[in-house]
Amino acid sequence: MEPVRVFTIDDSGVVTSVISRIVEMSQHCVLVGATADVESARDQIAALQPDVVTLDLSLPGYDGIQYLDELGCTVHPAIVIVSAATHPGSPETLRALAHGADACFDKGRIVADAELFVRTLLITGQRHRTQTPASPRRALRA
């Protein structure tokens, strides 16, 4: 099985480093890129084509909900919100899911629940692969 390709958007270098270590320790995921803001993420995501993007809700100049709204109905990677505000049942979790997030994970639980975090990335990334229309190249080979 090809590893799930992960891209991270978070303005905290510590959180980005923690996510990077957890992802790299997994045999089934690979971190393909990271950035601190949505502006620089757009081009990188288009070029790197990750299966899943981890996204903080609180970002400088552009929050995660705005980015989810921007994505709308376009074909895009699976989005896992990673925020201190997204604990189970919180208003922020419900809001993020209502705006198109595929899953939410409490930033404060990433280390303690690293295995669950990786499973969340795997499930959302694999679901993205099966739901994404075949690229023109793939369609020609089929």
Q: Which two tokens stand for residue 126?
A: 């694999």
The pLDDT score that the predictor gives to residue 73 is 74
Nearest to 23 by CA among 82, 68, 63, 71: 82
Q: How far apart are CA 65 and CA 42, in angstroms?
A: 15
**Residue ranges in the chain whose pLDDT is less than 70:** 132-142
Q: Are strands 4-9 and 103-106 parallel, antiparallel or unpaired?
A: unpaired
Q: Which domains does the chain have, with CATH numbers?
A: 4-137 (3.40.50.2300)
Q: What is the structure's pLDDT at 129? A: 81
DSSP, collapsed to helix, strand or coil, labels residue 53 as strand
Residue 132: predicted pLDDT? 62
pTM: 0.89
